[in-house]
Structure 1
Amino acid sequence: MTNSRTRRTVLFVAFFLALTAHVSDAFAQAPLRTFRGQTMGTTYMVKIFGSSDVDDDIRIAIDAELRQVNDQMSTYLKTSELSRFNASLSTDWFDVSSDTASVVAFAQEVAKKTNGAFDVTVGPLVNAWGFGPGERTGKAPDQSVLDELQKSIGYQHLQVRLDPPALKKSVATLKVDLSAIAKGHGVDRIVALLAKAGATDVFVEIGGEVRVSGSKTGKPWTVGIQLPDADAVTPMIAHPLSISEDESMATSGDYRNFFVDEEKRYSHTIDPRTAKPISHTLASVSVVTESCMMADAWATAINVLGPDDGLELAKSELISVLLINRNEGKYERMGTGTLAQYATEKASITGEAAMALGQQNALPTILLSAVVMALIVMAMAVGVIFGRKSISGSCGGLANKQNEDGSSSCALCSNPSDACQELREKMAK
């Protein structure tokens, strides 16, 4: 009776472990395909997990969709909708696509809520400061030049309608630049395209703006937040995005694109209200929202507003943000919503602190691996203890089943039987 119960116990343990391994192997064997390319003056990356019915020709559809975004909203293509609107001196309604109109409409909402801190007509000022498509001078423009340019900018001079879709300007020389929102919109378009094709577990990134859907191996997709002014070896915060609903992340900061003139640092982020680069202590802003277009716009808007006003806006709009603020050569973190977990008020980010955070995020994975390993070792030990009885397809002192070529492998770990023999010898020692 005891031997019978023991055999049933061994069978149950082996079956349970094999079943668990089968599920894990199913996830591990599901293909993760990555597509990369160039768009909007930057790069894109698309990852598709599983979805075997979606073939690799999806790359063609991805490129075609991104080309359409450029045809609508690029300021580099002279034939794009936006370029033709900017070149027109007419103050009548100018027909555009529904996509362009909807992006501009949301941009105008953010502009109103920030009192012009976010303004898609700021392009001429960006160019004047040397951060546009022209040659960089590394010099601050004269105030007279800025005063003249301010006459032809301002979100108040721009109107948008959705039906029929069109744009209208009250100042003939006004121009629209959607570079602070179009990448996020492009990400949303690709996620929608993939969903329509049947790919629901995806990761899409354009120029650092990210949106995910579903999961990878049943676990959340994670997005890294780079520490400002950090070198390549400094760990990033790895934030897991939601599995149950689509989530996006966008980051805006002044630590990559700037110039120094007469010992003064000038950021590429221009405050439309002052016509000058931002001068506050906010180093970077990361935003998590459902739509990547929204995250893209809010990240730029909050970056312009600065640490205090930006945090207040995020709270009032119920936006999840992580603000990293410079303070005497170190960094302070402030956060709201799902990103509040990384905020440590009045605590600076140092290399050691970042490393500790990375270890903390890795702890659950380490513990899980240890538990699984312990269970496997226990199963092997049980096999050795109870008379080396043969149970087909399991490991560790229990006989392995034979493959068609005469070799044997373990259904749990899929390693050749010679490796299992080596492990048994090590355990015996």
Structure 2
Amino acid sequence: MIEQNICFVVVYLAEALTAWQFFGELFSPRRPTWVRGILFGVGYGLAWLCFALDFVHVNVLIFAVCTGLILYIGYTVGIGKAALYAVLLSALMLGTEYLSMLFLGAFFDGFGQYKERFAVLILFAVFSKVLYFICTRLYVHIAKSREQESPVPNVVFILMLVTCLSSVFVITALIYICLELPSFSRAAEFWMIGCAMALLLGNILIFAAYQYIQQMNQRYMDLRLQQQKEQADRSYYKTLQEQYDNQRIMIHDIRYHLAAIKEMAEVQNGKVVANYVSEMERLPALQRRVQYCKDPVLNTLLIRYRDLCQERGISFSVDIRKCAVEGMDSIDITSLFGNLTENALEAAQGSENPFLEISLDVREAQKAWVLTIVNSCKEPPETSGMGFISRKQKRGQHGIGLMSVKRIMKKYKGNLEQYYEENDKTFHSVVVFPVNISG
């Protein structure tokens, strides 16, 4: 029956959308959005095709297997946890169907007609899927409240829950009408089925719209915080540069004083004083500060990360043949080098023989300057729809620095390539910009 197949396509679509929201709020994505969309389409499409077998246990098993594979392949979840949540969703799906059957059978004497009447069958399926959706939302709300990670506010959740329960009431009324009236025209049945399915999909899309708005707001806030951080970093490096300049002036003045003392000691035959002062002049604190490049902001940034690497036992090396960033704003230099170096430093920690290497040079043939950052990395970084992400504990911070880097890529018509070498366990970030960059 073509109409029945179409209706159950909508039912399985509702199940797929419910699982999409459920997984999206509890787990970080491992694959891009389009890949996860294909996984859901193939998985639930297979479950729909197997629905024709009409074996409850086989259908539940296929549903669980498809759900588990989607979760394991598409999200950053271990196989054990993926299996656990596949069983959980299968139990919720099966449980809400039996609960719907018991509830409707208790209130309506002729409910057994759902096996014979098309309209009652579809309304029953929609009724159970609304309950299934409500149960998943309750689980997500409780789980996220315990984790204190952006749960839906109670007032908003109650309003949405009332909307779902109102849909349950309306669908129950439609089932009652179907059972009380002996027959309907074909058009009337389709109108009732269409209204019930619209209610089902409408409830899911309301939550999806709210979730999307929350994600956009969170992303906007993260970008604002990133911009504030970049402004603060710029001020910090300028202040640090001033401190280094003042230190250089102070050291320069001290050298004059020491030269005078040395000369006076030699005139007075104070060989001991002369030798002592000569040794003082060779002290590291009185030597010139390291200069990696001519750009003061970039040079200060590199010195800071050199010091951080030394504190954490990470080998740090810089090779800058030509400083080719004169056309780049200082705030963009801070954002680009700061975000990439920070991620490299974070990834290098904990690895065997940790190191961080930075090189910058102009390739005359390609008329481009190339920045290469290589760091040790004991395991491959996580990935998302944006590419590689750091392993920060807070999920909301994933990928924000990379978003800033990509903004700079777009502004200066550059290109960023990142890849992980499994053989030597190193991570590479390669940035290419045209020589004559300008914002």
Q: Which has the higher strand share?
A: 1
Relative to the length of structure 2, the TM-score reads 0.29
Q: Which has the higher helix share?
A: 2
Relative to the length of structure 1, the TM-score reads 0.30
Q: Which has the larger radius of gyration?
A: 2
